[in-house]
Amino acid sequence: MTDLKDRAVVVTGGTGALGRAVVAELISRGADCFVPMLENQIPPHLSDLGERVHAVGGVDLTRDDEVRRFFDQLPVLRGSVHVAGGFAMKPALDISADELERMLRLNLVSAFLCSREAARKMPAGGSIVNVGARPAIEPVAGMSHY
């Protein structure tokens, strides 16, 4: 088991079910977790995890300037786990260009921006993990744009 005592780790998407599980596991290994959130209100299921969770509201992960500002305020990182993402269940023929662009920004651009900024805050030996969804390898009807 990896000891992460007093090591800083970012978890994007930390307010969701999978992200919360990642945060809980990292905390159990001693990490301090920094969770960027679009909302300013910390959800109880995240704040209940204790003082090692450092939630930062008002961060839009699709915006370069906001991602830079978030990472600039962090200590040296041991890792960064990118779980943030989402989709709209819809047939491909009904997806507009605007909807596709929103999904690309949320699922691809945010992962790139966070990976780039995490790498700048991380010495050799740190880890960046980008989490993909199962439909990437097992397609499902209504999710072709995802």
Cα–chain-centroid distance for residue 81?
6
Query: Does position 59 have pLDDT exceeding 70, yes or no?
Result: yes
Query: Does position 21 have pLDDT exceeding 80, yes or no?
Result: yes
Query: Does position 146 have pLDDT exceeding 80, yes or no?
Result: no
- Facing residues of 55 across strands? 35
Structure tokens at 99: 């909807």
Q: Please compute the mean of the pLDDT values over residues 93-109 and round it to a whole number.
A: 93
Q: What pLDDT sits at residue 1? A: 46
Structure confidence at residue 76 as a pLDDT band (50, 70, 90):
very high
Query: Does position 142 have pLDDT exceeding 70, yes or no?
Result: no
Structure confidence at residue 133 as a pLDDT band (50, 70, 90):
confident
* Predicted structure pTM score: 0.89
Q: Classify domain 8-132 by CATH architecture.
A: 3-Layer(aba) Sandwich (3.40)
Domain definitions of the chain by residue range: 8-132
